[in-house]
Structure 1
Amino acid sequence: MKRNLNDLLYFVTVAREGSFTRAAALLGVTQPALSQAISAFEERMKIRLLTRTTRSVSPTAAGERLLNSIGHRIDEIETELDMLTELRDKPAGTVRITCGPNVLRTILLPKLTPLLQKYPDIHIEFDANHGFRDIVADRFDAGVRLGDTIDKDMIAMPIGPKLRMAAVASPAYFENHPIPQTPHDLTNHTCINQRMIRSGGLYVWDFDQDGGDLNVRVSGQLTFNTSEHIVDAALAGLGIAFLPEEEFGPHIQEGRLIRVLEPWCLPFPGYYLYYPSRKQPSPAFSLVVDALRMRRKN
């Protein structure tokens, strides 16, 4: 029986994504064509590989067995194809990175722009979101997170300077509320809460006090799970916000937001690029890592 390697690639992608639509987008084919190819593959194999519902797609027992047996081999083939770009005049390939929107804007794009201009055959796909993606299961080459949130089994490399938190509110807010002198005073203020995507809980504001941590649970009318909307709410005078100072951009310097409690906000490790240990990174990935590496100032 003739077997097409495309059929295996199509099946693995659909099974991993749990969606014909997402898989088709990754593969660069239309959703109907992908669905038809999978159906024809199942017909030739004389066995159902995927269970389809109106909301999702999942492997059958036979499909799970096939996915477990060939999925890693598909990955190995793609890695070897990427490695062949070493023989080209210029490196080529796609690097997939998951990260937060702000670090994408402030660190990744500025550092990677010269690389992309020098190597037109290198492509970078960014997944910008506020959650934590499993870079192994979701087949990302790397991710970017704050240094203290990275799993110990990952290779981690700093790509930006240390950060500081900042508690801020608009001048209009402080016209009607006293300036807090200590973090404990925040319990008497309207604060803008943040819902943590990974845990589902509210972020507990973490300050420094005499070398130790001081945690404060705040309350207010608004809760967001996105930092940009927290900034917008603070600018609108709706309460005190607490985020890494870079999230507020020039608003502090230009007086649109007033910073408070600064002595209680000490520097902490910033953003790191992290990725699984790999013996033979592709040339494109190695160039991306080198471009993002922190350089010591002379």
Structure 2
Amino acid sequence: MDTLLSSADYNQLRAFLAVAETLNFSRAAERLGVSPSALSQMVRGFEERLGVRLFNRTTRSVVLTEAGERLFERVRPAVSQLGDAIGQARQQRERPAGTVRIHSFRSAAEMYIEPILPAFARDYPDVVLDVTLDDAVVDVVAGGFDAAIRIGEVIERDMVAVRLGADMRQLAVASPDYLAVHGAPAHPRDLVRHRCIRWRWPGRPIPYAWEFFEDGAWFEVVVDGPLIVDDKPMALRAALQGIGIGFVVEDTVREHIASGRLVPLLEPWSARFPGHFLCYPQQRQMAPALRAFIDAVRAGQPVRDSVD
């Protein structure tokens, strides 16, 4: 028999097994939902295909031939295993299991992934979340990730994007000690004369140019200063220590502004931009484990992060 069975081969094999198990064409036909005559034709076609008689039939009885016995003994366990494998596959569809690989910006993971972990681990014990925290913008598919959480402006066009939070804005901030010595900029372009704490996208050689909004358009200011980092919490801590002016997401400094440890600067030019999104490739059939993660993140309540 061919290694790969055609649909006709498989139907004939099922017919043979049903008759071999019941030794009765009527009962076997009822089990398969076909007429006895159709079942008889399938068995006869199977015998012709193999070139050997599998049953000895009389008007009163049906018995397996020696060749039929040997075939039945070998095929029955294999078909049973195949049925178990198909059942397990269906179970995977119904019960989330397996590994979900996620790429997330660090701040987004603190807001949207960490809060759901206890409940997710309890509700989906067979799902493993493999989370990579990285502020670099990577190709989700090429990197082998199932989903990513990042800001809206760096999402590939062919990805499905689910909004997770409100729009965000970045603020220039400085400590009172810094302002007492250097003064405050009156316009974003004045920043070129200040000591700024610069941030660099991971994997990129040039620090990020600070972005502001004026007269309906965004513009960039290339700043300078004593410190370049690729870790935003470190940049914030440096601003708190008076090393220079930082450029940070507003949500991360609310408490510091409220306490007076930081002073917001240039707010009229600080416009909002699309916030965090959960994105994943378009797919016809989504793995249950990935669907469970997406649903959990969307249902979770984000928390605001702060750096002490």
Q: Same fold (TM over 0.5)?
A: yes
Count of residue correspondences: 215
Q: TM-score scaled to structure 1, two decimals? A: 0.66
**Secondary structure of the equivalent of 2:107?**
helix
Residues 1:87 and 1:179: Cα distance change in structure 2 (over 3 Å) = closer
Q: Is the 8 A contact 1:160 1:294 kept in 2?
A: no
The 5 Å alignment of 1:1-298 reads 84-88=91-95, 91-248=96-253, 250-293=255-298
> How big is the shift at 1:113?
4.1
Q: 1:169, 1:176 → 2: CA distance?
A: 11
> How big is the shift at 1:140?
1.1
Q: 2:152, 2:123 → 1: CA distance?
A: 30
Q: 2:282, 2:89 → 1: CA distance?
A: 17
When the two chains are superposed, the root-mean-square deviation of aligned CA atoms in Å is: 2.3
Q: Deviations over 1:106-138 (max 9, x none)?
A: 222224543333222222121011212322222
> How big is the shift at 1:81?
7.8
Q: Is the 8 A contact 1:170 1:235 kept in 2?
A: yes
Residues 1:266 and 1:111: Cα distance change in structure 2 (over 3 Å) = farther
Unaligned regions of 5+ residues in structure 1, if any? 1-79
**Secondary structure of the equivalent of 1:96?**
strand
Q: 2:99, 2:202 → 1: CA distance?
A: 28
Q: Is the 8 A contact 2:257 2:263 kept in 1?
A: yes
Higher CA-based Rg: 2
Q: Deviations over 1:151-209 (max 9, x none)?
A: 11111111122111111011111111212221122122111111222442221110011
Q: 1:82, 1:172 → 2: CA distance?
A: 63
Q: Is the 8 A contact 1:107 1:160 kept in 2?
A: no
Q: 1:261, 1:81 → 2: CA distance?
A: 59
**Secondary structure of the equivalent of 2:284?**
coil
Q: 1:82, 1:146 → 2: CA distance?
A: 35
> How big is the shift at 1:289?
1.2
Q: Is the 8 A contact 1:112 1:288 kept in 2?
A: no
AA matched with 1:282: A
Match of 1:74 in 2: none
Q: Is the 8 A contact 1:131 1:197 kept in 2?
A: yes
Q: Is the 8 A contact 1:208 1:264 kept in 2?
A: yes
Q: Is the 8 A contact 1:168 1:242 kept in 2?
A: yes
Q: 2:90, 2:155 → 1: CA distance?
A: 27
Q: 1:147, 1:294 → 2: CA distance?
A: 19
Q: Is the 8 A contact 1:83 1:283 kept in 2?
A: no
Residues 1:162 and 1:102: Cα distance change in structure 2 (over 3 Å) = same
Q: 2:217, 2:90 → 1: CA distance?
A: 48
Q: Is the 8 A contact 2:137 2:154 kept in 1?
A: no
Q: Is the 8 A contact 2:176 2:263 kept in 1?
A: yes
Q: Is the 8 A contact 1:166 1:243 kept in 2?
A: yes
Unaligned regions of 5+ residues in structure 2, if any? 1-86, 301-308
